[in-house]
Amino acid sequence: MKTMRRNFLKIAAFAALGWGVRPASQLLASAGAEPSEGVLFASRHAVHAGPNSLKASRWAMVIDTTKLTEKIMEEVVHTCHSIHNVPEIPGKQNLKWIWEAHMDHLFLEDLHEFQPQAGAKSALALCNHCDNPPCVRVCPTKATFQREDGIVMMDFHRCIGCRYCMAGCPYGSRSFNFMDPRKHLGKTNPDFPTRTKGVVEKCEFCAERLAEGKMPACVEVSEGAMVFGDLSDPESEVRKLLAERFSIRRSPTLGTKPCVYYLV
């Protein structure tokens, strides 16, 4: 009796293993919604742009710190946060996609203390949409992923809220929804979803506006202080600016290849 049961269990286990081969290989092969996601490793997602959308090989932003004023920066932050339903939470569990920061804090040891008096004292910080993003490298579910045009995206549906990406980002660009954001939203923009508690969020270079042929909202209200364009197009405004003026990026020695350039 005992031997029969043991044999049965052994055969059942092997059968289960055998039966599991096909489903397991199917699971690994699909590994997510689309084959473009990459079977296992995070690869860049193709962008299927519609007829109206703005297209680029590598999106980048140039911020002219000399043209930024308090008023412009406030307007930029307010616009971005209101159209994307980013809540206003007092205290340390706050969320911000773009914010004003002192030049010392943005560039740490890269800027010496004897800067020109007329130079900017503060500028805007946001996700740098790095070309070699550590946040994408560490995400265990590919909830944050990179598009072929360089934009580092968030899939709020897939994020498990492990916050590894927040630890990985060397710029502090990411925010976590510690609580239900809807409790701290003034006016909700009905055309953009809010998020729920328990997911990480950040600037997405207004991918939803790019799909409709519009520039990112911050760029539109920046009165020319922020320029957005295709880094691989030598005729683009961003390339022209970078060719004419001296520019720096945040912590470039870390190898992240950030694509937000600051004209100083």
Partner 1 sequence: MYDKNKILVGLAVFVVFMTYPFWNNIGSAAYKRPELEKVKMAKECVEGVEFMRSEHMAMLNEWRDEVVRNGQHEYHSTATHRVHAKSLTKTCLKCHENKDKFCDKCHATVSVSPYCWDCHVDPKGEKK
Partner 2 sequence: MLEKAISGTKVYWGWIAFLLLLMSVGAACYWQQLSHGLTITGMSRDVSWGFYIAQFTFLVGVAASAVMLVIPKYLHDYHKFAKILILGEFNAVAMVVLCLLFIVADLGSPQRLMNVLLHPTPNSILFWDMVVLNGYLLINILVGWVTLEAERKQIAPPKWIKFFIYLSIPWAVSIHTVTAFLYCGLPGRGYWLTAVLAARFLASAFAAGPAFLILVTYIAKIFTGFDPGKGVLSTLGKTVVYAMCVNLFLLLCEVFTVFYSQIPSHMAHLQYLFAGYHGHGVLVPWMWSSMIMAVIGILILLVPKNRERDNMLIIACLLIFIGAWIDKGLGMIGGGFVPNPLHEITEYVPTQLELGVSLGIYATGFLVLTILYKVAIGVKEEIE
Distances in whole angstroms, Cα of residue 32 to Cα of each of 37, 49, 66, 134, 236: 7, 21, 45, 21, 35
Asked if 260 contacts 129 with a C-beta cutoff of 8 angstroms, the reply is: yes
By CB under 8 A, residue 125 contacts partner 2: yes
Q: How far is the CB of 236 from partner 2 (least distance, A)?
A: 28
The token duo for 43 is 């690869």
Asked if 225 contacts 236 with a C-beta cutoff of 8 angstroms, the reply is: no
Element containing residue 102 per DSSP (H, E):
strand 98-102
By CB under 8 A, residue 162 contacts partner 2: yes
The one among 65, 128, 175, 194 contacting partner 1 by CB under 8 A: 194
Closest CA to 37 of 26, 49, 45, 29: 45
By CB under 8 A, residue 40 contacts partner 2: yes
The one among 119, 193, 213, 252 contacting partner 1 by CB under 8 A: 193
The one among 98, 165, 207, 219 contacting partner 1 by CB under 8 A: 207
Distances in whole angstroms, Cα of residue 67 to Cα of each of 2, 71, 199, 239, 264: 84, 11, 34, 18, 10
Distances in whole angstroms, Cα of residue 185 to Cα of each of 15, 81, 119: 54, 10, 35
Dist CA 143 CA 161 (whole Å): 10
By CB under 8 A, residue 27 contacts partner 2: yes
Closest CA to 81 of 68, 93, 97, 94: 97
By CB under 8 A, residue 163 contacts partner 2: yes
The token duo for 82 is 């209101």
Nearer to partner 2, 44 or 214 (CB): 44
Binding mask 99-138 for partner 1 (x = CB under 8 A): ----------------------------------------
By CB under 8 A, residue 156 contacts partner 1: yes
Binding mask 37-56 for partner 1 (x = CB under 8 A): x-------xxxxxx--x---
The one among 114, 157, 234, 246 contacting partner 1 by CB under 8 A: 157
Q: How far is the CB of 126 from partner 1 (least distance, A)?
A: 20
Residue 161 DSSP class: -
Judged by CB under 8 A, the chain residues 6 through 25 that form the site for partner 2 are none
Query: Which residues bind to partner 2, rule: CB under 8 A?
Result: 27-28, 31-32, 37, 40-42, 91-96, 101, 104-106, 108-109, 125, 134, 137-143, 158-164, 166-172, 175-180, 196-200, 251, 254-256
Query: Which residues bind to partner 1, rule: CB under 8 A?
Result: 32-34, 36-37, 45-50, 53, 85, 145, 147, 153, 155-157, 180, 182-183, 188-196, 207, 211
